[in-house]
Structure 1
Amino acid sequence: MRFDIEIYLITSTLVSAFTFIYITSTLLFSLIKKGKSSPPLEVSENVTAVIPVYKEDVKLFRKVIQSVKREKISFIVVGDGATEPYKSIVESEGGIFISIKKGGKRKAIKEGIKLVNTPYVLLLDSDTILPQGGIKRLISRLQGKVVAVSPEIKLVRGKSRLAYYSSEVVHFLRRLSYKALSIFGSVLTLNGQCILAKTEVIKPFILSKEYDEVRLFRFSTILGDDRQLTNYVYKLGFKAEIVDDVIVKTKAPDSISAFFKQLIRWYRANNFFMIKEFFDGSIFKKGAFYSFSLVYWNTLPILIIISNLTFIEIMLRHILSHPKLLDRIIEDPIHAFYFIVVRRIENFMHLFYVDPSFIYRHVDPFYFEIFMLHNVFAELSSLVSSIMLLIVFAHFRKNIRGFIMGLAAFPLMFFAEIIAMFTMWKKKWEGRQ
C-alpha cells in the first residue's frame, strides 16, 4: 500500500473516531444532573477572600469589592505593583490592602494567604463579580472529600463584540465538557477566576516553593496556577468540583488579539500539564474519560495537520498524473471543489476521468477495512459535530449575529493550539502581565 494513503487513512480515521466518541460522551454525560447540598454553616466568620490586583479597571474593581462585602466576608487585596486608587477603595469598604513589588499573580496570592486564618479561603480575580449568596452555596459543596470548588463563569462584554462572542463560545463548550467530567468526580481545572477551598489544605502548598513555578524536566512555567492547585488537591486524595448553580461574572478580553493570546496561554498550560501528568501517572487517577478528553484536546490539532497535509499530497500527486482531470477541474471548479474538498478521498472514483479502481488498487485487504471504517466515522463525526453546532446556536437563542461572530472561536482555538504546541521549547513561558 502507498505510505501516504496509509497515513491519511489512519490519521483521518482517528480524528473522526475520537471526535465522535468525545462529542457523544460529552453531550450525554452533561445531561446528568448532580444533587445539591444545603448550607452547613454561616460563612461570615469562616471565609477570607484574597484578591490580587494589577492595573484593573477602577469601576469594575469597585463592583468586585462591593460584591465581596455584600457576602459579609473578610477580604484582603494585594496590590501587585499597584496602590491607588485600589487602596482607598478597599479600606473604605472595610478590607485590608497590602502592596508588594510587581511579581505576578502567584506572588500576590502567596503574600495574601499569609494573613488568612479562617477555615476557608476564597481566591478571587480583581475582575470577577460574586453573585448574592454565592459564597454560601459554594461552601455548602465543601463536604466529604471535596475540599475546593469553583462557580461557573458568565462573561461580561468588553470593548470588542467579536472577542466577547468568541469567548462565549469557548466558555460554553468548556462548561459542557466540565459537566461531563464531573459525573466521574473529575475536574480538569478549577476556574482560576474564583476558587473557594479549605485553608488547611491549600495554604501550605501555596506557601511552598513548589507553588512558585511548575517544572517538567528542564522546562518551567508560571502559567496554570489554577490547574496546578487542582492537581495538588487530587494528589492528596481529595476532590474538586465546579458548582453549576453559582455563576460569577468576569469581563471578556477587550480585543480579538487579547483573546487569542489568552487562548495561547491556556493551551500552553494544558500541553504542559498533560505531559507532566502523563509522566507522573496522575492522568490515569482521574478516570478513563478524563484521560481520553485530555489526550483528545491536545493531540487533535496535530492529527488534523498530518491528515490534511497527506491529503493535499495525495490529491496533487493524483491530479498531476491525470492531465485530463486537471482540465476538467479548471472547467468546472465548483464541481471539483465538492468532490475533492467536501467529499474527500472516499469519492476519488467519482471524479472526471479517474479510474474507478484507483482506491482499490492502492488499498490492501487489511487497510480496506480501515478505509471503510474511515468512511463510517467521517459521517458519524460530521453528524455529532452538526448537533454540537446546533446546541451552540440554541445557546445564543435569537442572537444570530452573536452566533456568527462566535464561530471565529473555532479557527482561533485551532491556531492557538498549534502556536502553543510549537512554543513549548521556551524555558519560562510568558504569563499574564
Structure 2
Amino acid sequence: MVGFETVLSFFFVLSVIIIWFMIAYQFGLTVFGFKNYVKSLKEKEKIDRNEYQFPTCSILIPAHNEEKVIGKTLEAMMKLNYPKDKLKIIVINDGSTDRTGEITHHYAKLDSRITLYNIAKGEGGKGKSRALNIGVKQTDSEIIAIYDADNTPDKNALRYLVVQLLTHKELGAAIGKFRTVNKNRNILTKFINIETLSFQSMLQAGRWEMHGIATLPGTNLVIWSWLIERLNGWDEEALTEDSELSIRIYKEGYKIKFVPYAITYEQEPEKWSVWVRQRIRWVRGNNYVIAKFFKQIPSFKNKRLAFDVLYTLSLYYLFFIAILISDLIFLSGVFNLVSISVPGPYTLIWIIAFILFIFEIMFAISFDSEDSSKKVLLIILMYFTYCQLWIYIVIRAVYLEYIKKEKRVWDKTIRFETEITKTSL
C-alpha cells in the first residue's frame, strides 16, 4: 500500500510539473501572439497601400446538404475584392439530398465565376478530403483557396492571403482567422467563441511568431496548386485532413503563415450533442495523424517542427491529463479526498494556475477586443463545464478508436438557420 502511494505521489507531482510546463509554454505563446498582432497591423497597412499582380485562383467549397448556409456563402464570395477575371468559385456538391445544388445553380446564373460540380450519384458524402480531391481536378488555377460552405469572408480576406504567397517564397500556404458568427446564440457558442479566439491567438499566431509554424484550419486558406499536386492531394483516410496536410507541407520544406487580418465568419455548433460529436471526430482524426507520423518525428530535419508536431499531436491528451490532475488537486484541497505523501502547497498551486489560465485567455481574446468583466465569469464557468467535457470526449474517442475499433467515418456538422450576421458582432 505504501509502495502504491509512493508511485501515485510520484505521478501526481510529475503531472503537476507537466501542467506548469504547459501553462508556461502557453503563456509564452500568448506573448508571442501579441507580438504577432502588433506586427500584423503594420503589415496590413503596407499591403493596403501597394498594388499586386494577382495570379489565377479557384475557391473550392465542399458542400454536403448545405442549403441553410450556401446562399449567404456565395453572396460573400461574389463580393470578394479580387480581380474578376482571375477568380473561379467552384461548389463541389458532395451527394447532397437537399436544395444545395439548386441554390448554387441559381447563383451560378447570376455570376459566371460560380460553377456547380455535382459528384456522381452514389459517390458523394464520403468526406471532405475526397470532395476536395475531386474538386481540385476541375481547375487549372495557380492558387487554390478552401472555404467551408458556411463561411462568409471579409471582402479583402482572399486578397490578403494570396499576397502572402506572392511575397514570401518560402510559403506553401497561408491561413486566415475564423470568427464565430453565432457567438451570442447561447452559452455553448459563447464558450466556443472564447476557445477559438484564444486557440488562434496562442497556437496559431504565437506558434508562427515563435517557431514559424502554423496549422491549416480547414477553411479560409490558400495553397499553391502545384504543391497540392506534388503532395498527391488530401489524404482521404484522414478525418482531420487539415492537420495531416500541414505536416506534409512542412516535410516538403515549405511553411504555412497565419494572417490574422484575413478574416472569415463561420457557424459553430449550437447544440451540445453536435459539439461533442464534432470534437470526438477531431480527436479520432488526431489519433490517425499520430499513428501516421509519430515514428517519423525523430527523422524531421527541422527540430522545431519535430517538437511542435509532437506537442500539438499530444495536446488533446496533455489537456486531458491536465484537467484530471487539476480536478484531483481541487478535490484534494477542498474535500481532502486524495492523499498525497509528498508535501506541498497544492491548493495554492491550483489557485495560481487557475488565475494564470484566466489571465492567458483574457489576454489572448483581447487581441480581438473580446475582453470584458463578463468574459472573466464566462471563462470560470467554462472551466468547470466546457473543459470538463473534454475528459469524456477523449475517453470516448480512445474507446471508439482502440477498444471498439469502430471504422472512422466522416460526420457532417449540422448547420443551423440563423439571422445573426457580422453586423451584430
Q: TM-score range by the shorter chain?
A: 0.7 to 0.9
Match of 1:397 in 2: 372
Q: 381, 388, 411: which one pairs with 1:432?
A: 411
Match of 1:162 in 2: 187
Structure 1 CA distance for aligned equivalents of residues 199 and 406 of structure 2: 28
- Deviation for aligned residue 1:224: 0.9
Match of 1:211 in 2: 235
SS in 1 for 2:138: coil
Match of 2:420 in 1: none
**Kept after mapping to 1: 8 A contact 2:144/2:225:** yes
Match of 1:263 in 2: 279
Match of 1:241 in 2: 257
Match of 1:350 in 2: none
Structure 2 CA distance for aligned equivalents of residues 237 and 243 of structure 1: 20
SS in 2 for 1:21: helix
Q: Over the residues paired in the alignment, what is the CA RMSD in angstroms?
A: 3.2
Larger Rg, first or second structure (1 or 2) = 1
Structure 2 CA distance for aligned equivalents of residues 275 and 377 of structure 1: 36
Q: 90, 104, 110: which one pairs with 1:76?
A: 90
Aligned residue pairs total 371
Structure 1 CA distance for aligned equivalents of residues 65 and 183 of structure 2: 15
**Kept after mapping to 1: 8 A contact 2:130/2:236:** yes
Structure 2, unaligned runs of 5 or more: 413-425
What does residue range 31-430 of structure 1 map to in structure 2 within 5 Å? 31-32=31-32, 33-34=35-36, 35=39, 36=43, 38=47, 41-43=52-54, 45-58=55-68, 60-71=69-80, 72=84, 73-82=87-96, 83-94=101-112, 95-100=114-119, 101=121, 102=124, 103-142=126-165, 143-157=168-182, 161-175=186-200, 176-187=202-213, 189-207=215-233, 211-213=235-237, 222-281=238-297, 286-302=305-321, 338=334, 340-341=336-337, 345=339, 359=341, 371=342, 375=344, 379-380=348-349, 382-392=351-361, 395-399=370-374, 403=379, 406-407=382-383, 408-425=385-402, 426=405, 428-430=407-409
- Deviation for aligned residue 1:399: 3.7
Deviations 1:236-268 (A, max 9, x none): 111112212222100011311111111111111
Amino acid at match of 1:386: I
Structure 2 CA distance for aligned equivalents of residues 145 and 62 of structure 1: 36
Structure 1, unaligned runs of 5 or more: 214-221, 316-336, 347-358, 360-370
SS in 2 for 1:118: coil
- Deviation for aligned residue 1:186: 5.0
**Kept after mapping to 1: 8 A contact 2:59/2:145:** yes
SS in 2 for 1:56: coil
**Kept after mapping to 1: 8 A contact 2:320/2:390:** no
SS in 2 for 1:31: helix
TM-score (normalised: structure 2)? 0.77
- Deviation for aligned residue 1:430: 2.3
| 1:90 to 1:53, Cα distance in 2 relative to 1, 3 A | farther
Amino acid at match of 1:397: S
- Deviation for aligned residue 1:158: 7.3
Structure 2 CA distance for aligned equivalents of residues 377 and 148 of structure 1: 44
Amino acid at match of 1:9: S
Match of 1:25 in 2: 25
- Deviation for aligned residue 1:163: 2.5
| 1:415 to 1:201, Cα distance in 2 relative to 1, 3 A | same
TM-score (normalised: structure 1)? 0.76
- Deviation for aligned residue 1:87: 2.2
| 1:243 to 1:410, Cα distance in 2 relative to 1, 3 A | same
**Kept after mapping to 1: 8 A contact 2:73/2:151:** yes
Amino acid at match of 1:173: S
Deviations 1:295-318 (A, max 9, x none): 354245257658989999xx9xxx
Amino acid at match of 2:207: L
- Deviation for aligned residue 1:146: 1.2
**Kept after mapping to 2: 8 A contact 1:66/1:93:** no
Deviations 1:145-171 (A, max 9, x none): 111111111011179513212212321
| 1:388 to 1:305, Cα distance in 2 relative to 1, 3 A | closer
Structure 1 CA distance for aligned equivalents of residues 335 and 381 of structure 2: 29
Structure 1 CA distance for aligned equivalents of residues 312 and 235 of structure 2: 26
- Deviation for aligned residue 1:62: 1.8
Structure 2 CA distance for aligned equivalents of residues 223 and 199 of structure 1: 22
Tell me the percent identity: 18
Structure 1 CA distance for aligned equivalents of residues 67 and 24 of structure 2: 41
SS in 1 for 2:387: helix
**Kept after mapping to 1: 8 A contact 2:211/2:304:** no
Structure 1 CA distance for aligned equivalents of residues 143 and 179 of structure 2: 24
Structure 1 CA distance for aligned equivalents of residues 140 and 391 of structure 2: 44
